[in-house]
Amino acid sequence: MSDLYNVIAMLEGKCPQCGQQYFGLALANPRYQTCDRCGTGLEIKDGDKIIKGFSPFSADNLSIKPKSKINPQDGSKNNSG
């Protein structure tokens, strides 16, 4: 995504799902890389380069496991929760 900040021309964005078009330098910001109509990540064109835009609906799912709780009094692990 850092390639977007080396803009060589006015950015053009197009939704691959519904065809809505967007124009402007704001497309360099991930906040504006999602289609307002359907929520799909935009295809952003910077000159000859096409970059897939960000969409929270297509982002990878992360699974974070909580750490074991540690009893602050004696430092032992509490596996009950």
Listing DSSP states for 42-66 in one string gives PEEEETTEEEEPP-TTTSPP---PP
Task: Output 21 or 67, whichever has higher pLDDT.
Answer: 21
Quote the CA–CA distance of 41 and 16 in Å, as a whole number: 8
Classify strands 49-52 and 69-70 as parallel, antiparallel or unpaired: unpaired
Whether residue 77 has pLDDT greater than 70: no
Quote the CA–CA distance of 9 and 47 in Å, as a whole number: 6
When pLDDT is averaged across residues 50-55 and rounded to a whole number, the result is 83
Query: What pLDDT does 31 receive?
Result: 87
Contact 41, 31 (CB under 8 A): no
